[in-house]
Structures are given as C-alpha cells and as structure tokens.
Chain A
Amino acid sequence: MNNPFIRLEEVSKSFGLLTVVEGLNLEIGKGEFISLLGPSGSGKTTILMMLAGFENPTSGAIWAGGKRIDSLPPHRRNMGVVFQNYALFPHMTVSQNVAFPLKMRSLPRAEVKERVGKALDMVQLGSLAERRPSQLSGGQQQRVALARALIFEPEVVLMDEPLGALDKQLREQMQLDIRDLHRRLKLTIVFVTHDQSEALTMSDRIAIFNRGKIEQIGKPSDIYDHPSTQFVAEFIGETNLVWGTVKSMEGGTARVQLPAGQQVLVETATDLGPNSKVCLSIRPERIKVGRREAAGNNITAAVSDIVYHGDHLRLIARSDGQSLIIKTDRSQPTLSIGDEVQLSFLSSDCWVVRP
C-alpha cells in the first residue's frame, strides 16, 4: 500500500505466558473498510483494544496518520469505538450519551446541541433523545452507539462485533446502514466479526486470523475463490478438501492423482514439483451434477445422502472412498440415494491450498 493510514509493525501481545498476537504486520488505507475475521480467541478483540489504546503491545509499533500512537492514552487517539454490548452510559439520556464526546472537547453549547440533533436524525432516533438506554431496543441502542462514535468525526472507527447481539433481520438492516455511513462519511473502519457472510458483504478487505496471526488478507472475492490455506478454505464458506499427488505440470495446469487412482486437472499459479503431495479445495456449488465437461474433470460417484435446504439441495456423494459435498439447485431431475451420478468441475474451480 502506498500511503497507509494505519500501520501495525511487528506487533505482539502476550498475557503472561500466553501469546495472543504474534508479529503482526497490517496496513489499513484511509477510507478503507477492513474486517478482522477469525475463530474465537484468535486475538481480534485484542488487536482492536491495542488500536484503541486499552491494551499496550508487548512489542512492535502502531502508526496512525504518520504518528506513532502506541504510547498515547486512549482519550487522545481520536478513534471512535463501538462495543459489542454498545457500552452506553446507563445514567445518561440518549442525547447526553451522544453529546459526551463533544463535551469532552469543550465545544460551545449551541454547537453541541445542533450536532447532537443532526447525529440523532442521521440514525433516525431524533424522537427518542430524552430516553435512557435501558428504555431502548437492541437496534436502537446500537444506533445510539454508532451516533456517539461518529459524532466527533474520528479518523478511525473501531467496531467489535457490533451486530452480534441483534437478530438476523435487524442485523442485515444495520449492515446496510453501516455500509451507507461508511461511504457517505468516507470513514476508515476496522470491523471485527465472527460472521463470515457479514465480512464478505461489507468489507473492502478481509483479514483472516488464526492464533494471533494473519492467515490471509485480501478482497472478499479473492479470499473466497482463492483461499491460500486449508484453514481459510474451511473457515470461509464450505469446501471439499481432497488430497492428491502431482503427476505432471504443463503451463499453469497440474495433473493430480487422487488416492483412488482418478486424475484431475488443476489450475495453479505456483509451480508444483512432480510427486509432491497437495491439498485441493473444491467449492460445493462449483460441482455440476449429471453433465460431462469436456474441458474439465469428470468423476462418477454414488449418492449417499440428500438434504433439502429450501433454496438448494445438498448431496453427499462417494467416489472411491472420497466423500464430496455438492450444492445443487432444485431443478435437478429427482435423485435418490444409491443413484450413480456424473460429477464435473472446471480445472479453474479446483484450487491448491497450503495445509
């Protein structure tokens, strides 16, 4: 990145003997929406807390806007934080909550009033200004937290699973609202989430974390279509992992032999030596049923289970000891368990991942 706005440089964090974040390097551009995604305990919150200044890195440096900030106390970092449980002040009304950051900056009273009004209108809460947080619904509290974190026009907004406590419908609505605010206000947002579909729909880039390290970072489509490791392939979406041995390599295509003897063609950017063991990831929705693909790979298999999912069917098929999941639309001719089916997939839908 040419001119990153936030830069984490070899940042590590340990609690006693437990190392939670290890040698992290991360650059975030101005106006970017980046999601941190990873399993529980992978250190996402810890990174956010270090950005906000509530935790100090054990080693390494954090830069923001060209200044080193890792020894700056939280109240001087000018970052808006939205917590999972919203952290609204229960002893203040909605408007007092939203006015808080402006009061801390000693703005004149008239201006505070005006900006609070605007901010509440922006999140459509103007009519609830005098209520206490306990008298609001979850979604309303969430919007107050958002208004409070944005009203002082921070350079960065940090959000830690801000939608975790909302039900599905509300969550989707809020996802759209936050994306909209991000575009309109040109905010830089660091967004922590558990929910992969949320990360895929909202972010400019996603960083996948595993045990305090970044497994892969990139655009949502990159991550989904070209997972670089087995962990990422399994963590994002669903996948079939197949092991095999490289037989030959021609241009960008490798011929890989599966344990049962079938051979498949695989497009890959890396050069694979003959006889090396590889792991392949094939997305279930990329496997076609009942069609032969002249340019692709073809396998015959027996259907061992069919699961109805409303908008699609899920087949479990076995072929020579290898079990595959296939997502298929419902227009498929009716299949039943035990049927023999023809499976096919393109060599470009078959992706080599690092174990």
Chain B
Amino acid sequence: MEDNVLLKTINLSKNYYNDKTEIKAIENLNIHVLNNEILAIVGPSGCGKSTFLSILANLEKQTNGKIIMKKNLSIGYMLQSDSLFPWLTILDNVLLGLDIKKMKTGNNIEYTINLLKKYGLYEFRDQYPDNLSGGMRQRVALIRTLATNPDLLLLDEPYSALDYQTRLSLSNDLQEIIKNEGKTAILITHDLAEAISLGDRVIVLSKRPCTIKSIYNINLNNKTNPIDNRKDPKFNYYYDKIWRDLDVHI
C-alpha cells in the first residue's frame, strides 16, 4: 500500500438478509483514505453510508471484498445518534472510551478535560446529559470520540441535529482539530456545503446499493477555514456539480 494511504477498500460489498428479502446496501465499493485528509461522503438517504462506516469500525462484517488498513490504525467512531449515557455525568461520558480501553491515565484524562474546556463544556462536567441542549450533546459525543486520540475519525452526520450557526462554528473547530493534531476523518453529511467547505475530497455515492458516482478533489482558490471557504469563487462550481450528481428528483 502506498505510504500516504491510511486505508483502502477493495470491491467491498454488503448485503443484509432477512427471511423474505435481500437488501444490497453496498456493491463493489473501492475507496481509499489519504493520511491527514478530510474525506467527505455524500449520498442519498438509505444508500448505505452508515453501513460503510460500521464495516470500517468492525461493527459489521462485509459480505464480500477486502479492507486494507495501515498497521495499528486506531479508529474513533462517532455514531449517528449521540447515545450519551443518561446515568453518567458529562465527564464520565467523555471518559467512557478511555475507561473501556483501560487507558485512563493522568495524561489522557487531562487531554480530555482540555477538550471539554475548549468546547465550553467544562462547567457542565458534573451535570447529566438530560440537562444539555442538542448542540452541547453533539459536542460531548465528539469529545468522547476524540478522547481516545484515534488516528482515523469516522463521523456519521455529526452535526445533523444542530442549528446552522452552531454547525458552522463546530465545522471550524473540527477542521482545526483534524489539521492541528494530524488526524484523518471520514465525514458523512447530507449538507453539500458542509462537504465542500470541510472536505479535501468529496465522494458522491449512488442510490442503494451504493457505488461511487464521482469523486471531487476540492481545489478552492484560497482554502482556509470552512466558513470562509463557502465564499470562495469556486465553491458554487462544486456545489452545482455535486448537486447534479446526486440527481435528486423533487
């Protein structure tokens, strides 16, 4: 495998079965993920995006095909639902991964607490999730994913439940973290603007069973943070193209 490739899938397929039918969720998917990139994936609802991440995270087994990963690649998966434990405080929730992986060392705890501070959640550390707003809960879920310091982040519509403003500012934060800490991310989103402004590459998937429809390298004139990227002259060009690829019939 090439040096700058973190992970690649070869003819990946996934079928779900029940008594009556067979659902083909993924068919012959060949995707590679480059080191330190944000790979945005867009596609119609129900096409198999979450399934793809679940296979990468080893929660589901593929029906056919192969996944090749860099050695000792650690993966953090932020699920589509935040699944915060209502019986644990915010602090215990974000420390859950460290706890499970038996990595609850002083350094790691400090790292997590710093993340809480950075995201303005430190004052809420002893509260329970029920007392938090939707946006705060999503941030807690993101910190919980980051706490174990994974190399590759799998983000399944991390901001879908948020208002527009919080989304924008979290996009900035997310990009900052990924670029500053040398991480890599696969970002699934329904929001084309989010995909283009945040992603280094955007993969457009077809309807179920999902295969690659097109791949775009996002080359903006002046690539900065996600908020400013949206004002870039070439932003609309990508937006139109991807919109057409998605082929949404209204």
Q: Do chains A and B stick together as partners?
A: no
